[in-house]
Structure 1
Amino acid sequence: MRPMDFTSLSFAALLCAACSSQPPATWSYEDAKERTPLAPDHAYPELFEAVQRQGIFTDQKHFVDALPKRDPAKIRADYLALHERDGFDLKGFVQDNFIESGEAQSPPPKPGAPIEAHIDSLWPVLSRTYREVPQYSSLLPLPQPYVVPGGRFREMYYWDSYFTMLGLEHSGDKDQVRQMTDNFAYMIDTYGHIPNGNRTYYLSRSQPPFFAYMVELQARIEGDQAYARYLPQLQREYAYWMDGAQTLKPGAAARHVVKLADGSVLNRYWDASATPRQESWLQDIKTAAQAPDRTRQEVWRDLRAGAESGWDFSSRWLGDGKRLETIRTTAIVPVDLNSLMYHLERTIAKGCETLRDVSCVQAYGQRADRRQQAIERHLWKADGGYYVDYDWQLDRQRPDLTAAALFPLYTGLASNEHARRTAEAVRGGLLRAGGLATTQVSNGQQWDEPNGWAPLQWVAVEGLDRYQQGDLAAQIGQRFLQQVQNLYRKEDKLVEKYNVSGQGQGGGGGEYALQDGFGWTNGVTLKLLEKYGANASKARTGE
């Protein structure tokens, strides 16, 4: 059967494509509190495992996005009845019972189109509206339109979306900024948190908490009333990340919260499930098998937590910095996550201030102050002059310099002296011909050298500018922008990551092929063009 991107079809067309004797019913965003369909590995577990283990599709995400044509329970029963018979054709069974999901395709630019005009033309192509979906779909319906990243990413992702929204605001689409913010508020109200993406199989985890930045962006558009309107959701998201903190003993962790030996309370990445990720099932099975000294469940939870971090995967999370089977994400207190939590606390205090709730302002302000002190005490590497992650299980800092070191500058918690020293370290250790390198480790993981990612470039540029380090900010921003423009001129596309060695290439590594689109690259590119304009073409690509 020919694959299709059903997120881009009209619902009527989808019903025709899916029809058997009875077309599938639907469920809407209004039904989500009462019912959410089972994820594929729970709805038809034996069939799911067979398809993923045999590699029927080259991308493991493909099958979990496929739409069952009929009741999954009946598909499962038929599979169990038939699969051991001679001549059973697994691929044929899947084709008969599922509609495959195609790529979210991005058309090439019109001949000679400037990159800004091309990006503006991509927003409608990447936009989706799914207030209701077929009842067996793994897609979660949302009340408002949204923008997907592109390629294999056919749904809305959490932290990706903030950088996409920056681009939408630049393009003048302020309505969609509000709509996407409302979608995230809806998910907090419905699921208790913002999932990794709006799929059933992403519900067990979140992603870097950028909702407060979305609210801040909306407040810049309409005024401070936005802080008050979204205050309940800001507080609910905070409660999700801090769940378990009240009863935690020093030297212990629960869910997303860690209490260090001195009583400091900080956060980590964590996933409620300890099973292979459905969208990367076979990879996770193989990774756990390569770690005989650890339980499979431990490895799988750390892989899932790495996916929640958005840095999936990176030497940041690896015990030896090289092999994925040594991953120990849940043992690490990340500097970027805790910087974002500091910003969330400050944003809640701002929302309380708009309502003149003095006790709330004081409570969240004090929490932010305590977090800032804990970050400076545990995550500042004095002998290196930059911020690092902290291994709470081994009770020591992880020494590597990474692009995450710039998040304390981005959120404004760093002192002027620490910001200055961080800038010096970044200039000497991470600045490349094509922008900011993610780490200094080259090990084949996509969130490592030589890759550079649009959101990290923007965090660096904004953070450095905030502390009067404009020269370094401009070098990073202009070099990355030049890299994006070079690939655009050569291949007529924007991609999710770039090789910042300066060769004008897209990035590599990781679990899947380089994806075109691409939401957050589009958004950051527009902001960098706005910031540096004609100077971008003069960016130095050496030094």
Structure 2
Amino acid sequence: MRQTGSLIRRLVLATLAATTLTAARAQDVTPADLYGPLFEAIQTGKVFPDGKTFVDAVPRRPVAEIMADYARDRPQGATALRAFVEARFIIPGDTPVPDGAQVAQGLPLKAHIAALWPVLTRPALEPVEGSSALALPSPYVVPGGRFREIYYWDTYFTMLGLKADGQDALVESMLENFEALITEHGHIPNGARTYYLSRSQPPFFALMVGLSERKDAVSRRTQLAAMQGEYAFWMKGAECVAATGACDHVVRMPDGALLNRYWDARDTPRDESWAEDVATASEAEGRPAAEVYRDLRSGAESGWDFSSRWFDDPQDIATLHTTEIVPVDLNSLLWTLERTIAAHCRALAERACVRDFDHRAGARKRAMNRYLWNASERRFGDWDRRTGRMTSSVSAAGLYPLFTGWANRSQARDTARQTEAVLIAPGGLRTTALTTGQQWDAPNGWAPLQWVAISGLDRYGHRATAETIGTRWLGTVDRVYRETGKMLEKYDVEQQRPGGGGEYPLQDGFGWTNGVTRVLLDRYPDVVSETAPTMP
């Protein structure tokens, strides 16, 4: 009786939340909040193979009516629950191709990428009540597959390819979407869904601004306001950080300097991976579940979800401690944000802003050199708050100081040597040196990290190493394309085949692979044959 009473109370609370939704900001409410016990029953029972399916579903009726139906009918078991949901929601599919669209087959690789842009482009969006989608005022490109919305850091690498293909208008419209998200929500979320609002992703917005053709004073002021808004989101914790502690995204280092970490504002299972997170927390002996959930969510904010980079035991995800790590990639990107804000202020003759952000960038660079560079091992890496030293993880994240340009020549030379010795594989750049079954570890290679490495190494004159990575990566992508007809989310760079691991099946589409491959085809034009492949 106690359990029944508890369920009834939760149903009443969920129904009340639904009826008052229009009086509150709908975007602040995730599907877990909104659908309460219905959501939990669906995710616990694994009604859909992918936990993201239900949270992306669009209700056919008002939320309050759906919850009243659930309180009345109380469907039991996966079959009954699925029938209940399908009668009341539009269930999304996993195809990257919208209804009625066709992807031409048998095209050369560059032409295939050009043909994919309209397939992956979506119109401006005004979501219906009860949907998890966020409003977007302009057209945008999605990655593909289960990733049906615009994603933050994916978009920068997609933009590279769009620029190469002359799609400047689409680049600008996606920038407009991100400016709108910052205005509406105070930051760019992980993706344009309510359940992603509690976190962001690696802050590439300043680099996206660098791709914009809008250079007039009005546009610069709009861009500056958006960048300052994003910066305020990442630095909000500076107001509450203790002398040697951490608050929100901000960490005070032992010498008093401020650096940043990944941090999700919630400490519950992720809506889109609820069952997986509950299982991981149950295996984390001696740790509060909320702590594990926060670290899982923060690992998702990093984009590296998941990697031994965040683990105490490289083979055990339950040992992750993302929020205790000060990452080299995040801080490198925030240095770029500070520098770009200063540059915009300089162009607009805002001298106090220039002084402020030049000072902030200088202080961050000094702190990164102290804590994120290991002089004895001659490498960049992440710093662990618990141990007071850099972690042992050797990863592609160590190339971000070259990519963003704050490394010195000696550091860049040592990084190039380590990359050649440890990270370069037959098919491109390894993500880490360890094979764990996690998707952000060996043997997988990812398009964004290839570009970070190639661009960074090339910036410091290590062009041969950059070319080795670029040409091997192109060879892998082309080989898999000729075998499958697809552009994939990730690749096995050891065997030059489709990648694996992670929480979900391999996705095709695929936004950032298209973007990076397209720009590399121009950089290394003699690697891939222009002849059309024979499709399987």
The alignment's TM-score, normalised by the length of structure 2, stands at 0.91
Paired residues of 1:155 and 1:197 also in contact (CA < 8 A) = yes
2:335 counterpart of 1:322: no
Aligned residue number for residue 499 of structure 2: 507
Aligned residue number for residue 180 of structure 2: 186
Measured in 1, the distance between the counterparts of 2:59 and 2:271 equals 16
Letter aligned with residue 144 of structure 1 = S
2:70 counterpart of 1:79: yes
Paired residues of 2:478 and 2:528 also in contact (CA < 8 A) = no
Deviation at 1:176, TM superposition (A): 0.7
Aligned residue number for residue 171 of structure 1: 165
Paired residues of 1:215 and 1:230 also in contact (CA < 8 A) = yes
Paired residues for 1:50-65 under 5 Å: 50-65=41-56
Paired residues for 1:98-497 under 5 Å: 98-106=89-97, 110-218=104-212, 221-223=213-215, 225=217, 226-497=219-490
Any idea what SS the aligned residue of 1:44 has?
helix
Q: Structure 1: which 5+ residue stretches go unaligned?
A: 1-26, 539-543
Measured in 1, the distance between the counterparts of 2:517 and 2:76 equals 55
2:82 counterpart of 1:91: yes
Residue by residue over 1:289-308, the C-alpha shift from the partner in whole angstroms, topping out at 9 and shown as x without a partner, is: 00130000000000000000
Measured in 2, the distance between the counterparts of 1:307 and 1:424 equals 30
CA change 1:58–1:198 in 2 (3 A) is same
Residue by residue over 1:473-503, the C-alpha shift from the partner in whole angstroms, topping out at 9 and shown as x without a partner, is: 00001100110000011110100000000x3
Q: Which of 501, 513, 516 in structure 2 is aligned with 1:524? A: 516
Deviation at 1:384, TM superposition (A): 1.9
Aligned residue number for residue 6 of structure 2: none
Measured in 1, the distance between the counterparts of 2:114 and 2:358 equals 39
Q: Which of 513, 519, 525 in structure 2 is aligned with 1:533? A: 525
Residue by residue over 1:123-157, the C-alpha shift from the partner in whole angstroms, topping out at 9 and shown as x without a partner, is: 11101113312222111110000000000000000
Aligned residue number for residue 3 of structure 2: none
Letter aligned with residue 435 of structure 1 = G
Letter aligned with residue 185 of structure 2 = Y
Paired residues for 1:7-22 under 5 Å: none
Paired residues of 1:37 and 1:137 also in contact (CA < 8 A) = no
Deviation at 1:89, TM superposition (A): 2.0
Deviation at 1:74, TM superposition (A): 2.1
Measured in 2, the distance between the counterparts of 1:362 and 1:337 equals 23
Any idea what SS the aligned residue of 2:437 has?
coil
Q: Structure 2: which 5+ residue stretches go unaligned?
A: 1-20, 531-536
Paired residues of 2:426 and 2:496 also in contact (CA < 8 A) = no
CA change 1:399–1:227 in 2 (3 A) is farther
Paired residues of 1:104 and 1:153 also in contact (CA < 8 A) = no
CA change 1:423–1:34 in 2 (3 A) is same
Letter aligned with residue 191 of structure 1 = H
Paired residues of 1:445 and 1:510 also in contact (CA < 8 A) = yes
Deviation at 1:196, TM superposition (A): 0.5
Measured in 1, the distance between the counterparts of 2:330 and 2:78 equals 52
Paired residues of 1:205 and 1:308 also in contact (CA < 8 A) = yes
The number of residue pairs the alignment matches comes to 506
CA change 1:305–1:32 in 2 (3 A) is farther
Any idea what SS the aligned residue of 1:132 has?
coil
Any idea what SS the aligned residue of 1:258 has?
strand
Paired residues of 2:475 and 2:527 also in contact (CA < 8 A) = no
Measured in 2, the distance between the counterparts of 1:247 and 1:41 equals 29
CA change 1:438–1:537 in 2 (3 A) is farther
Paired residues of 2:474 and 2:527 also in contact (CA < 8 A) = no
Aligned residue number for residue 14 of structure 2: none
Residue by residue over 1:95-144, the C-alpha shift from the partner in whole angstroms, topping out at 9 and shown as x without a partner, is: 21111011242488544411111111111110111331222211111000
Aligned residue number for residue 16 of structure 1: none
Any idea what SS the aligned residue of 2:309 has?
helix
Measured in 2, the distance between the counterparts of 1:135 and 1:35 equals 7
Letter aligned with residue 52 of structure 2 = K
Deviation at 1:86, TM superposition (A): 11
Q: Which of 8, 11, 29 in structure 2 is aligned with 1:38? A: 29
Deviation at 1:372, TM superposition (A): 0.6
Deviation at 1:222, TM superposition (A): 4.0
Residue by residue over 1:232-252, the C-alpha shift from the partner in whole angstroms, topping out at 9 and shown as x without a partner, is: 110010010000214422320
Paired residues of 1:454 and 1:520 also in contact (CA < 8 A) = yes
Paired residues of 1:104 and 1:154 also in contact (CA < 8 A) = no
Measured in 1, the distance between the counterparts of 2:401 and 2:102 equals 38
Percent of counterpart pairs with the same letter?
Answer: 51
Paired residues of 1:250 and 1:262 also in contact (CA < 8 A) = no
RMSD, matched Cα: 2.0
Worse-matched range after superposition: 103-112 or 490-499 = 103-112
Measured in 2, the distance between the counterparts of 1:263 and 1:42 equals 39
CA change 1:85–1:436 in 2 (3 A) is closer
Aligned residue number for residue 18 of structure 1: none
Deviation at 1:85, TM superposition (A): 7.7
Letter aligned with residue 78 of structure 1 = D
Measured in 2, the distance between the counterparts of 1:222 and 1:116 equals 27
Paired residues of 1:32 and 1:190 also in contact (CA < 8 A) = no
Measured in 2, the distance between the counterparts of 1:525 and 1:345 equals 29
Worse-matched range after superposition: 266-275 or 248-257 = 248-257
Worse-matched range after superposition: 343-352 or 528-537 = 528-537
Letter aligned with residue 134 of structure 2 = L
Any idea what SS the aligned residue of 1:534 has?
coil
Letter aligned with residue 229 of structure 1 = T
CA change 1:516–1:376 in 2 (3 A) is same
Residue by residue over 1:493-533, the C-alpha shift from the partner in whole angstroms, topping out at 9 and shown as x without a partner, is: 100000000x3311100000000000000000011011111
Paired residues of 1:379 and 1:388 also in contact (CA < 8 A) = yes
CA change 1:376–1:342 in 2 (3 A) is same
Paired residues of 2:383 and 2:391 also in contact (CA < 8 A) = yes
Residue by residue over 1:4-58, the C-alpha shift from the partner in whole angstroms, topping out at 9 and shown as x without a partner, is: xxxxxxxxxxxxxxxxxxxxxxx9xxx9995437321111110111111111110
Paired residues of 1:381 and 1:399 also in contact (CA < 8 A) = no
